[in-house]
Amino acid sequence: MNRFDRVKVLLTGAGSGIGRATALRLAAEGAAVFAVDLSGDGLAETVAAAGGPGRITPHVADVADEDAVVGAVAAAAEALGGIDVLVNVAGIHRTTPIHRLAVADMQRLFTVNAVGTALFCREALPLLPDRTGVVVNVASSAAAHGNPYMTAYAASKGAVLGFSLSLAAEVAHRGIRVVPVSPGSVATPLAGPQVLPPELDVSYYGRIRAPFGTAEPEQIAGVITFAASRDAAYLTGAELRVDGGSHI
Ligand SMILES: NC(=O)c1ccc[n+]([C@@H]2O[C@H](COP(=O)([O-])OP(=O)(O)OC[C@H]3O[C@@H](n4cnc5c(N)ncnc54)[C@H](O)[C@@H]3O)[C@@H](O)[C@H]2O)c1
């Protein structure tokens, strides 16, 4: 059974990690995917991993650039003949101790993670079909659970979570679902060891309980795909925390 036959999906962050795994999973289940990312090379790798152009249409754009977002949503609607599902995965990460928090870093985190997500929602929602339209926004378990040196990142993801819950309430009358998905630790370039500057005390991270270890991107993609599917038709305005039991 192809859950996404004839379903048109606009997906950001498709050039790496969770976004790539989600693009591949959706395409494998029959979706036509309009795949947005800042990285053309990343998108080319995603298309190659899907076996070449076919179900995945790459589009380079910066989600933090308002004009680029307006253009990307219009291009997606034209290329796909409409948009049924919007999945916001694109995001960036920064770690810093609080005494070194830089305004520019914090602004970039918010602009990419929170404003980028909000802009795609603003532009795509008028096009989404009543009753079957779905928005899935990737937040983070950091939105609601403390992690040292992640204050600004966590705040930007808290913004994604709060935004998504209020949006769910706002569009419920149209029958459109909005689902925030909050991964824990996932093996992608974003979460690599280079994220933590070497002078920081990282012993905390070694002590975090992670009964199921670090996730593979495909494990998060499976949950995103579920949230976007008709199997989740009664799911909206509720965070799906996918952290392998790290915060039981
Ligand atoms: N990896 C984790 O442990 C983890 C945990 C919780 C949440 N997340 C979230 O999952 C999402 C995906 O992260 P990932 O781990 O797959 O990281 P990743 O770095 O592998 O992928 C992120 C993708 O987003 C793209 N991107 C970044 N800024 C962009 C911009 N301004 N415009 C367009 N594209 C942009 C990148 O080019 C990249 O392809 C992010 O929102 C991240 O915050 C990740």
Q: How far is the CA of 232 from the centre of ligand 1 (A)?
A: 24
pLDDT-above-90 percentage for the chain: 84
In whole angstroms, give the CA distance from residue 236 to residue 170.
11
The atom number, within ligand 1, closest to the CA of 186 reads 3
- What average pLDDT does this structure show over 25-41? 98
Most informative mutation of 108, 186, 216 for ligand 1 (most atoms within 8 A of CB): 186
CA distances to 6, 10, 137, 157 from 81, rounded to whole Å, are 11, 11, 22, 31
119 has a pLDDT exceeding 80: yes
Banded model confidence at residue 201, pLDDT cuts 50, 70, 90 = confident
Q: Select from 6, 9, 8 the least CA-distant residue to 19.
A: 9
pLDDT of residue 78: 98
* Mean pLDDT computed over every residue of the chain: 94
In whole angstroms, give the CA distance from residue 95 to residue 76.
33
Most informative mutation of 12, 16, 108 for ligand 1 (most atoms within 8 A of CB): 16
Kindly report which listed range (26-35, 89-98, 119-128, 167-176) carries the lowest average pLDDT score.
Answer: 89-98
- Domain 8-215 sits in CATH at 3.40.50.720
Pick the more confident residue, 203 or 166. 166
Question: Which residues line the pocket of ligand 1, CB cutoff 6 A?
Answer: 13, 15-19, 37-39, 42, 62-64, 89-93, 112, 138, 140, 183, 185-186, 188-191, 217
- What average pLDDT does this structure show over 67-92? 98
Strands (E), the chain: 8-12, 32-37, 56-60, 85-88, 134-138, 177-183, 240-242
pLDDT of residue 1: 67
209 has a pLDDT exceeding 90: no
Neighbours of 233 (CB within 10 A): 12
The atom number, within ligand 1, closest to the CA of 14 reads 39
Closest residue by CA, ligand 1 atom 32: 62
Q: How far is the CA of 37 from the centre of ligand 1 (A)?
A: 10
Banded model confidence at residue 200, pLDDT cuts 50, 70, 90 = confident
Q: What are the residue boundaries of the structural domains of the chain, listed by start? A: 8-215
What is the DSSP pairing of strand 56-60 with strand 8-12?
Answer: unpaired
Q: How far is the CA of 169 from the centre of ligand 1 (A)?
A: 26
- Residues that are catalytic: 153
What is the DSSP code (8-state) at residue 170? H
Closest residue by CA, ligand 1 atom 1: 186
Q: How far is the CA of 237 from the centre of ligand 1 (A)?
A: 22
Overall pTM > 0.95: yes
Q: How far is the CA of 173 from the centre of ligand 1 (A)?
A: 31
- What average pLDDT does this structure show over 214-219? 96
